[in-house]
Amino acid sequence: MKKATVENLAPWVTTLLLLILWQLGVMVFHVENFVLPSPIEAIQQIWANRYALLQHGLATLSTTLVGFAIAVVFGLLLGILVGSFRLVYVSLYPVLIGFNSVPKAALVPVLVIWFGVGSVPAVIAAFLLSFFPVVVNVATGFATVEPELVDVLRVLGATRLDMIVKIGIPRSLPYFFASLKIAITLSFVGSVIAEIVAGNNGIGNVMLIASSNFNVPLVFAALLVVGVMGVGMYAIFAALETRFTAWSVRGSGLEYPTSG
Amino acid sequence: MSYIEIDDVDLHYGRQSGAANGAGTLALANATLSIGQNEFIAVVGPSGCGKSTLLKLISGLVKPTRGVVRVGGQSVKKPLKNVGMAFQNSTLLPWRNVRDNVLLPLEIVEPYRSQPRSEAALKRQRADELLATVGLADFGDQMPWQLSGGMQQRAQLCRALIHEPSVLLLDEPFGALDAFTREELWAVLQNLWLTRKCTVVLVTHELREAVYLCDTVYVVSPRPGRVIASRDVPFPRPRTLDMTYQAEFVELVHACRHHIMPGSAA
């Protein structure tokens, strides 16, 4: 088999093997399905509740993406500021670290007091969980610009904006895309947590209702849906990454010949 | 008539200017240098003697603690515009191909910056012509990492010259190259300078390079750097590698070396 084919198949095979292992474990140890359902039961639940899961899945997806989009814009701007101005870095970084150490799940009830039950707390939770890696990565990209490069531009009379546009942003794009892949998965965590705690909609809400009915297979069905959405979004950003930062993964085009 | 004047300049690092005494490093002391328009000079000296600091002073990237730096009659108070710079390490932008790297200064320096987009094709042509003069005719579309170290330095020279700066500052541009590539690039740089005159300040610790390329060689002492000697290089141009083995040339190199390490047997 070709190397590329093997690499394309590898993640599917691994997933399948894990599911088989799970199925066998449940069968061999006779685990009750209200403790841990088998993957077949979970998938049966997905099929049985396909319309509800689709509707709630889309609701979760949209709150997640709204929160994520805000996080990307906010994180990018803050990262540029933190990375290019020493004073901003010194004054803001400890605050950011402290803020990120706060468990966001604990904030959701407060968000509900402020904004009421619904999708607003979920959007905010998705945003709060995911902006931090974007800030840190973009700031790192900016802060590690070679000083000689800055000198080359300064003696041409470049403005600070020139530096940001010509060097800072392209230089930090690989860091930025790496952070997007982390941030999108964290966004799902944020929105689903908020839906569990205070949602009237979304996958998290499905899980809350299912677990209160001891319908554990449906809980796992919902978990699988979130997982699949997360992987799908990850794949989209990974594809964007290869499209925009090919220069930083030099040689990969030669390492994986796609001839034939 | 001197174009760049460095008049009794001190530079302390790690201390505010104006303070009388205190901690910090005296990188350069009583530096006085006068460089004529379109002159090609070299500054040689042991490592850590403040050679690179001198370039930063001329370009205005750092301010002197004491004394005045003048370029074109104007006292340098902030970074000059329209200076070309090249460094020992390749500072090509890895996300741009070679041509776009060379074109970078034209995106920043006036009047090119405000020129309409219709000029883009002309600029590309200009970059390609310049690349051809340094032997990189077919490499415009390559990415920097696809080039050898010597080729990257050629491209860096092109980027330093594309906007026709009046001052070219070279900070050990060939320091990281092997001897053969280095000597090849001496000829490349000499040709570039002969065809498009500008004032060049070359910082190097390679004495043969300095004597081969320059009108005047300035020798700087170990820290704190002081200009301890200057030697005019009388040889006609274009100079050849063969000349570097002739007695007068070798003698001049030895004399420079003697200034750096007087009495040393090494």
Model pLDDT for residues B135-167, shown as the tens digit of each residue = 898 999 999 989 998 899 999 999 999 988 989
Q: Cβ B107–A166 below 8 Å, yes or no?
A: yes
Instruction: Report the half-sphere exposure of A177 (CA within 13 A, side-chain side).
Output: 19
CATH superfamily of A38-244: MetI-like (1.10.3720.10)
Going by pLDDT thresholds of 50, 70 and 90, the confidence category of residue B260 is: confident
When comparing pLDDT for B46 and A63, which is higher?
A63
Cβ proximity of A231 and A15 under 8 Å:
no
- Check pLDDT > 50 for residue A258: no
Q: Cβ B79–A154 below 8 Å, yes or no?
A: yes
Write out the two tokens for A145.
């610009």
Q: How many CB atoms lie within 10 A of CB B53?
A: 24
When comparing pLDDT for A184 and A146, which is higher?
A184
Q: Is residue A88 packed enough to be buried (19+ CB in 10 Å), middle (13-18) or exposed (0-12)?
A: middle
Q: Cβ B87–A152 below 8 Å, yes or no?
A: yes
Q: Nearest-CA residue of chain B relative to A146? A: B91
**Residues of A178-203 as b/e, b for ≥16 C-beta within 10 angstroms?**
bbbbbbbbbbbbbbbbbbbbbbebbb
Going by pLDDT thresholds of 50, 70 and 90, the confidence category of residue B88 is: confident
Q: For residue A153, which residues of chain B lie inside 8 Å, CB to CB?
A: 108
pLDDT for the residue A59: 94
pLDDT for the residue B16: 52
Average pLDDT of span B166-180: 89
- Top-level class of domain B2-260: alpha beta
Q: Nearest-CA residue of chain A relative to B85? A: A152
Q: For residue A247, which residues of chain B lie inside 8 Å, CB to CB?
A: 94-95, 143
Q: Tell whether B64 lies on the interface with A, counting CB pairs under 8 A.
A: no
Q: For residue B56, which residues of chain A lie inside 8 Å, CB to CB?
A: 151
Q: Nearest-CA residue of chain B relative to A244? A: B95
- Check pLDDT > 80 for residue B17: no
Q: For residues A188 and A180, what is the distance between their CA atoms, to the nearest angstrom?
A: 12
Going by pLDDT thresholds of 50, 70 and 90, the confidence category of residue A17 is: very high
Which percentage of chain A shows pLDDT scores above 70?
Answer: 95
Q: Considering only CB atoms, which residues of chain A are within 8 Å of chain B?
A: 146, 148-149, 151-158, 162, 166-167, 170-171, 173, 245, 247-248, 250
pLDDT for the residue A23: 94
| Polymer length of chain A | 260
Q: Cβ B104–A166 below 8 Å, yes or no?
A: yes
pLDDT for the residue B117: 84
- Check pLDDT > 80 for residue B44: yes
Kindly report the nearest CA distance between residue B52 and chain A, in angstroms: 12
Report the mean per-residue pLDDT for chain A: 89
- Check pLDDT > 60 for residue A256: no
Q: Cβ B108–A171 below 8 Å, yes or no?
A: no
A214: left (phi over 0), alpha (psi -120 to 50) or beta: left
Least confident range of A233-242, B77-86, B183-192:
B77-86
pLDDT digits (tens, 9 = 90+) for A93-125: 889 889 889 888 888 899 999 998 888 999 999
| Polymer length of chain B | 266
Q: For residues A188 and A141, what is the distance between their CA atoms, to the nearest angstrom?
A: 25
Q: For residue A248, which residues of chain B lie inside 8 Å, CB to CB?
A: 94-95
Average pLDDT of span A142-164: 88
Measuring CA to CA, which residue among A160, A213, A226, A184 is closest to residue A75? Answer: A184
**Residues of B219-245 as b/e, b for ≥16 C-beta within 10 angstroms?**
bbbebbbbbeeebebeeeeebeeeebe
- Check pLDDT > 60 for residue B26: yes
Going by pLDDT thresholds of 50, 70 and 90, the confidence category of residue B21 is: low
Q: Cβ A155–B61 below 8 Å, yes or no?
A: yes
Q: Cβ A152–B93 below 8 Å, yes or no?
A: no
- Check pLDDT > 60 for residue B172: yes
Q: Cβ A250–B93 below 8 Å, yes or no?
A: no
Q: Which of residues 70-129 of B touch A (CB under 8 A)?
A: 79-85, 87, 89, 91, 93-95, 104-105, 107-110
pLDDT for the residue A245: 84
3-state secondary structure of B75: strand
Q: Cβ B89–A153 below 8 Å, yes or no?
A: no
Average pLDDT of span A128-150: 90
Three-state SS string over B209-220 comes to: HHHHHCCEEEEE
Q: Cβ A157–B104 below 8 Å, yes or no?
A: no
Q: For residues A62 and A123, what is the distance between their CA atoms, to the nearest angstrom?
A: 9
Q: Cβ B108–A166 below 8 Å, yes or no?
A: yes
Nearest-by-Cβ selection for A151 from B61, B105, B107: B61
Q: Which residue ranges make up each domain of chain A? A: 38-244
Report the mean per-residue pLDDT for chain B: 86
- Check pLDDT > 90 for residue A83: no
- Check pLDDT > 80 for residue A260: no
Q: Cβ B91–A146 below 8 Å, yes or no?
A: yes
pLDDT for the residue B229: 85
- Check pLDDT > 50 for residue A174: yes
Going by pLDDT thresholds of 50, 70 and 90, the confidence category of residue B263 is: low
pLDDT for the residue B22: 54
Average pLDDT of span B228-249: 88
Average pLDDT of span B79-103: 89
Q: For residue A146, which residues of chain B lie inside 8 Å, CB to CB?
A: 89, 91
- Check pLDDT > 90 for residue A43: yes
pLDDT for the residue A257: 47
- Check pLDDT > 80 for residue B264: no
